[in-house]
Amino acid sequence: MVQTATKGDQAPEDVAKAIANGHAAAVEFPTMLFPDDAPVGLVAQRMVEGRYDKAFLISEVKRFTGVTIDVPANPGRIVAVIPQHGYWSSELTLTDQAFRAAGYEVDYVTLRGERPFVYGVSLDTSFRDQAWNAAQVSPGEAALGNRYNDRTTTEGLRLNQPRNLDTWLPPTPRPQHGEAAREPYRQALLKGLSEATQYAGMFIVGGAGAYMDYGGNTSIRPLIRLLAALGRPVVAICYGVEVLIQATDPKTKVPLVWGRLVTGHSEQDDYTDGTTNVPVEGGYGPNYGAATITLEQMIKQYTGPQGGFISNNGSPYMAVADGNVITARTTPDGYPAAMLALAQMHGNGQLPTKYVIDGDGLGHVPTLAEVRRIAG
């Protein structure tokens, strides 16, 4: 006979019942807008048709944040970090178009300076994901993504020669390299970071390739810390948030996001296994969606008991600003994240320090009830 000690001397059957009841009660079944009705599709179509200009952008920032922005001519440059081995189309295209409409030049960077490839499903209006069994891509998003994926268009040509992260910012030396590596590393890093001070902000594109390219990458972390320390917006989208949260103080290892509110790809949105093959350019590749630990759980751990995770699942948009760290939940949400960044950059301090966009033109200061966090 198996004998076990249970809390309060409960019968094992009662413990099993309590756990089963708790798991069942916690399941959420929010509704989701279909792509044809989702507001992001209308925005993408407007971009395709060339009707997304600076005046419209300013009105969008006002609609989402309540902030009136004043953007000068030629405001500067933004750096976009893109997964070379699979990015989700709208996470690049919508964010890129918003910053360009404001007048920014956008420089692309990939792991080795090669053209990034797009996940084919992010261009496919018939694709239905595992979690929602719902179509994910609107006709407007697909059309805009195809323009970027076409190597002969203006947008496609820009992707042909991205910056090379490997040669721009050095990786942290490993123990095998020895003390002799310290000073050359310092000098190379200083040179790269000094050049990076030209950027007014950055955004990190998601897609499962972000896990593979940047999950353990040590070159990108000083870049994130630099722009954050300069008070410039650091935007991370979907799985790009996994890259952001690993930017830590090199000595204390305290994460940049410690004590902050962050969103990202939630457990409700995640794949539950890693066996599904999804179409990529030139063939099929593995789905990296089922990480050994979910992004939601990673965020809770990296933000700590005073920070936390926010996600209003099923809402058409979800982006969170906490200071100049801005995060976006999933595929359409680089767009509202760009609205938050521009409100910060050009709103003369009108945007509250903590601000959440969780609908089409809907934003608010977050409440404690919205935050999921680990216990202190």
Span 151-192, pLDDT tens digits: 999 999 999 999 999 999 999 999 999 999 999 999 999 999
Question: 119 pairs with which residues across the strands?
Answer: 280
Tell me what pLDDT residue 366 has: 96
pTM score, whole prediction:
0.91
Q: Has residue 196 got a pLDDT over 50? A: yes
pLDDT in tens, 109-156: 999 999 999 988 899 998 877 777 778 899 999 999 999 999 999 999
The tokens describing 211, both together, are 């896990």
Over residues 368-375, the mean pLDDT reads: 88
- Pairing status of strand 234-237 against strand 325-328: parallel
C-alpha dist (Å) from residue 23 to 17, 18, 28, 217, 364: 10, 9, 10, 35, 30
pLDDT at 143: 97
What is residue 248's DSSP assignment?
A: B
Higher-pLDDT residue of 215 and 75 is 75
- Say how far apart CA 224 and CA 206 lie, in whole Å: 15
Q: What is the pLDDT of residue 192?
A: 98
Query: Do the beta carbons of residue 356 and residue 114 sit within 8 Å?
Result: no
Tell me: pLDDT of 283 over 60: no
Contact indicator for 122, 137 with CB cutoff of 8 Å: yes
Distance CA 361, CA 66 (A): 9
Question: What was the pLDDT predicted at 40?
Answer: 92
Question: Residue 360: is its pLDDT beyond 60?
Answer: yes
279 forms bridges with which residues in the sheet? 284
CA angle 340, 198, 332 (to 5 degrees): 30
Tokens of 247: 């930017």
Instruction: State pLDDT tens for residues 198-241.
Output: 999 999 999 888 888 998 899 999 999 999 999 999 999 999 99
**In which band, very low, low, confident or very high, does the pLDDT at 375 lie, cut at 50, 70 and 90?**
confident
Nearest to 282, CA basis, from 162, 149, 157, 152:
149
- Please report the pLDDT score of residue 275 as a whole number: 45
What residues form DSSP beta bridges with 107?
Answer: 79
Task: List the single range of 67-76, 196-205, 278-287, 296-305 with lowest mean pLDDT.
Answer: 278-287
Q: At 262, list the tokens.
A: 């962050």
pLDDT at 47: 98
The answer to whether 125 touches 142, Cβ cutoff 8 Å, is yes
Which of the four pLDDT bands, split at 50, 70 and 90, describes residue 369?
Answer: very high
Handedness of CA 209, 212, 216, 217 (dihedral sign): negative
Q: Mind listing the domains of the chain with CATH numbers?
A: 32-370 (3.40.50.880)
Predicted local confidence at residue 37, as pLDDT: 67
* Interval 243-280: pLDDT, tens: 999 999 999 999 999 999 999 988 877 766 554 455 55
Average predicted confidence (pLDDT) for the chain: 90
Element (H, E) at 199: strand 199-204
Nearest in space to 270 (alpha carbons), one of 252, 240, 294: 294
Q: What's the pLDDT score for residue 4?
A: 58
**Averaged pLDDT for residues 349-376:** 92
Query: Measured between alpha carbons, how far is 227 from 263 in angstroms, rounded to an integer?
Result: 20
Query: Is 338:94 a contact under the CB 8 Å cutoff?
Result: yes
